[in-house]
Structure 1
Amino acid sequence: MSVSLQAMTNQAQALKSAGRMEEALSAYEAAAAAWPQSAVAVHNLAATLGDMGRHEESAQTARRAIAMGLKAAETRLVLARALMNTGDLDGAAGAFDAACAANPFLSDAQYERCQLIWMRTGDRSEALKPLERDRTARPGSGPLDFVRARVLEYTGDMDAACQAIEALASREPGNVLLQCQAAHMLNQHGRTQAALARARRAMELAPDQFVALEAWTNACLAAGDSAGARDGASRMLALAPDNQQAVNLQAMVWRMTGDARFGEVYDYDSFVRAQTIDAPPGWSSRADYLKDLAAELKAAHPYAAHPFGQSVRHGSQRPDILSVQTPAIQAFRTAMSPLVDAYIDGLGAGADPLRRRRSAQWRIHGIWSVWLPPGGFHADHVHPQGWLSSAFYVELPSAVDSGGREGWIRFGESGIPAAPAQTAQHWVRPEPGMLVLFPSYMWHGTVPFGGKEARLTMAMDIVPA
């Protein structure tokens, strides 16, 4: 008896949800082969290829689904993402337009279209222009108003972003995600009492949802309410014990209350380690390798402004950098792997959130490159879905040696408001060829730098395999 397409799709989705991507891909390929007339099966295959960083194949497969007659906006969105990652930004822009035309309420397509325009131009009004056109044609649309608020936030107009999200959250008081987003924006903008009110409303709506607990915990930390923050963080960890933001929020409570356990998880001497790569095969020296790597990375950076929702400020970020098939970029995996192995081996055993997940088998869970001009920096942040995070230095400005820690990576400075403030406690002076590894739950950012030279880096998250 033949297996239905739905059954085959369900099996593939289960494998994908479990992180077994190669097996999921095989299952989607089998479904597309068994049901060759199904454009939906081809779409699913295209989306999975994109998730795996196989962007050229994803674009080809998405185009095949469209040629088969599939009208879905989601397929145009898959195509747009693939084209962005292959560097065809004009093609991506056209695909985003097609996705938004097919379904103007597809928030991800609207948001990512605004992001692409912003990254190419650095112009907020240009980034918002197509969205505002669709909002004008569809007044009162919650999804489009939400996208607008987020674009305003990430392009730096926090006053307008807060005004927009408050209006939307007031209009939809039963929407827990809107209450959480409003709490986040208000909290980041220093409006603690308003953030608490929105977070409290989210907790009334969904007291056991992670997003509501996170909004409440953040607001309590800003208000100096250690008891509320402690309860929220412990409940977040009960739901997601490996979530690095939950681990970090608990650590913030410990730091706030003077609990010695903070020093056990923020053990900078043991957990922040700087090592230097050797030249990979094919290069006679580290300097030669870094020179070639810098040239390839710069060629792979097509953007003028930072992406939305990331830590980069006043610079550009190239995601999924290992999808760029050039020699020095591809050699990076060989160069850095022994250093990751040495870091993991040196951790030893332990029951803390870092060492209890220790495994000699690991995989990359996201890798990217950042190019910062003078004045650029990383806002302090954590990596919620990571285990180990990193910074690898390719080219550095002379400002790092100026004596003021310009361009250095810092640890411990909270990226969310806290009362009292939690400031940086540890810094690492970068050097070309240096890989700094540390727990993904640690607050980290960079000190802005001056001068005329840029700062070029790579970074990645590592998780146990």
Structure 2
Amino acid sequence: MRQGTEAVTTADHERLARARAGVAARPVSAVAEHNLASVLGDLGDFAGAEAATARALAKGGDAAETWLVRGRALQGLARLDEAEAALATAIARRPDYAVAHRDLAQLRWMRTADMRHALAAIAAAPATTDLIRVHATVLTEAGEGAAAAALLTRAVAARPGDPDLRLMAAAACGRQGDAPAQLAHATAALSLAPGSTGAAKAAVEALLHAGRAGEAAALAERLIAAIPDDQGAIALACTAWRLTGDPRHAAWCEDPALVSAATIPTPPGWPDLPAFLADLAADLAARHRWRTHPLEQSVRHGSQTQEDLARLDVPVLRALFAALDAPIAAHLGALGAGDDPVRRRLSGGYRFAGAWSVRLTPGGFHSDHVHPRGWLSSAFYVDLPDAVAQEPAGWLALGRPGVPTRPALGPLRHIRPRPGQLVLFPSWLWHGTEPFAGDATRLTVAFDLLPAE
């Protein structure tokens, strides 16, 4: 593969070496074992992380953080009952541990699609800002947006000076179509935290919803001047420019070279691409053990894997990421020079920054979104329902904003998915998937790329 494409980086190896050295230097230390477990978990070695947390506990460790790392490792090993128990123990050790509450709520939600079960631990927890966020998130994901907005409205009334609550309330009101309330909460958050990027973005979103695109553009332009690689800020600026007719929208969002679709070569060891895709689909199917989608993701009516596929030492997955190099390299090589947010960051290579799989069931779709931590994003099609033959069922939609605007805006284009095809596009370009009917599922792999360091 090209230099810089490795998923496990030199920095990862150095972190792991330091953690192992720490255990060797302090063989009776529970903290050293915890630190090793945390690194192993980050690298996708769930068996190693589980073993290290067991040693930490045996050495007297009982911290909430260790139980969290253990719960995540057990989840990665598909020992889901044990994972729930470990996360519940983390919460017992620290009742306001919001990260553990979120992990437990998400695990229960994905396993059961039962909102009450997902929220059971939060009901007895302190009403901190972070736990209110988890509560509202679960309500939203369960389709109870009005209840989430009401929860946040009550929280703001009790703590009107909390900018984080204001931001959450702004988003909830926006989803409910209440543009005036959204704008009121967003401007209050920006007044309370004038240096907050999140508050500034929330204000731009509210202005777009209120039909004040010129003001939204001015604020979004200040944002991207300050943080030029913020993918969410770029998306909001482009949305405002589309509404105001600014030519920068065409230059950044309608340039055909920024989007490519290509079929991968057949990886070595397989007779043809269909045989490889069949083996890949079988591996991915075993990872889709969930009943419903995770929290705060774009998936609706489907499931999403929870481990970083690019880090896993599994032959069919390693073959996939090796085969992806050719179309990625061709895409980068065809871009040429430019000052748009993709071309100006070209460094001669790339690295993976997270990879996952999504399986949509009939009626499923991706809501329109961007990838805030990416540079280039993707869709790789593994197995598709027959319904995609009928435009635009199950097709990729590009350019339709994932935030409400006045007037509403539709997609700039659709791309029909095909098995073995990789589609690449800027991470800041709004993208989603159209619903499809029938009785078959739609299986994909997606990943983000960053420029090579």
Shared fold (TM-score, shorter chain, > 0.5) = yes
Deviations along 1:338-359, one digit per CA (max 9) or x if unpaired, are 1111111111111110100112
Does residue 1:242 correspond to 2:229, yes or no? yes
Does residue 1:112 correspond to 2:103, yes or no? yes
In the other structure, the counterpart of 2:82 is 91
Deviations along 1:222-256, one digit per CA (max 9) or x if unpaired, are 11222431233233224422111111111111111
| Alpha carbons of structure 1 residues 49 and 240: separation in structure 2 relative to 1, 3 Å | farther
Does residue 1:157 correspond to 2:133, yes or no? no
> 5+ unaligned residues in a row in structure 1: which ranges?
1-17
C-alpha root-mean-square deviation of aligned residues, in Å? 1.7
Distance 1:169 1:22 in 2: 45
Cα shift at 1:217? 1.1
In the other structure, the counterpart of 1:76 is 67
Deviations along 1:94-134, one digit per CA (max 9) or x if unpaired, are 111111111110011111111111111112122222322x2
| Alpha carbons of structure 1 residues 286 and 98: separation in structure 2 relative to 1, 3 Å | same
Taking structure 1 as the reference length, what is the TM-score of the superposition?
A: 0.91
Distance 1:245 1:445 in 2: 15
In the other structure, the counterpart of 1:393 is 381
Does residue 1:410 correspond to 2:397, yes or no? yes
Cα shift at 1:60? 1.7
The one of 312, 319, 325 aligned to 1:331: 319
The one of 392, 396, 410 aligned to 1:423: 410
> 5+ unaligned residues in a row in structure 2: which ranges?
1-8
The one of 62, 75, 81 aligned to 2:53: 62
Distance 1:76 1:308 in 2: 21
Distance 1:28 1:432 in 2: 42
Cα shift at 1:191? 1.0
Distance 1:239 1:50 in 2: 34
Distance 1:31 1:273 in 2: 46
In the other structure, the counterpart of 2:158 is 171
| Alpha carbons of structure 1 residues 443 and 143: separation in structure 2 relative to 1, 3 Å | closer
In the other structure, the counterpart of 2:450 is 463
Deviations along 1:31-89, one digit per CA (max 9) or x if unpaired, are 33333343223322222222222222222222222222222111111111122122221
Deviations along 1:129-176, one digit per CA (max 9) or x if unpaired, are 2322x24xx5x5544333211210122110101101111122222222
Does residue 1:24 correspond to 2:15, yes or no? yes
In the other structure, the counterpart of 1:376 is 364
Distance 2:58 2:277 in 1: 43
In the other structure, the counterpart of 2:346 is 358
Contact 2:34-2:56 at 8 Å conserved across structures: yes
Distance 2:285 2:245 in 1: 45
| Alpha carbons of structure 1 residues 118 and 459: separation in structure 2 relative to 1, 3 Å | same
**Partner-residue secondary structure (3-state), 1:423:** coil
**Partner-residue secondary structure (3-state), 1:379:** strand
**Partner-residue secondary structure (3-state), 1:173:** coil
Taking structure 2 as the reference length, what is the TM-score of the superposition?
A: 0.94
Q: Which has the higher contact order (CA 8 A, sep 6+)?
A: 2
Q: For 1:442-461, what aligned pairs fall within 5 Å after superposition?
A: 442-461=429-448
One-letter amino acid of the counterpart of residue 333, structure 1: F
In the other structure, the counterpart of 2:328 is 340
| Alpha carbons of structure 1 residues 115 and 37: separation in structure 2 relative to 1, 3 Å | same
**Partner-residue secondary structure (3-state), 1:410:** strand
Percent of residue pairs bearing the same amino acid type: 43
In the other structure, the counterpart of 1:251 is 238
**Partner-residue secondary structure (3-state), 2:215:** helix
Distance 2:294 2:143 in 1: 12
In the other structure, the counterpart of 1:8 is none
In the other structure, the counterpart of 2:301 is 314
In the other structure, the counterpart of 2:277 is 290
One-letter amino acid of the counterpart of residue 418, structure 1: T
In the other structure, the counterpart of 2:3 is none
In the other structure, the counterpart of 2:190 is 203
In the other structure, the counterpart of 2:44 is 53
Contact 1:42-1:65 at 8 Å conserved across structures: yes
Deviations along 1:163-217, one digit per CA (max 9) or x if unpaired, are 0111112222222211111111111221111111111111111111111111111
Number of residue pairs matched by the alignment: 443
Distance 2:27 2:388 in 1: 57
Contact 1:268-1:426 at 8 Å conserved across structures: no
Distance 2:40 2:290 in 1: 24
| Alpha carbons of structure 1 residues 268 and 188: separation in structure 2 relative to 1, 3 Å | farther
Distance 2:388 2:347 in 1: 34
| Alpha carbons of structure 1 residues 143 and 385: separation in structure 2 relative to 1, 3 Å | closer
The one of 86, 94, 97 aligned to 1:103: 94
Distance 1:63 1:177 in 2: 36
Cα shift at 1:412? 0.7
Contact 2:376-2:426 at 8 Å conserved across structures: yes
**Partner-residue secondary structure (3-state), 2:324:** helix
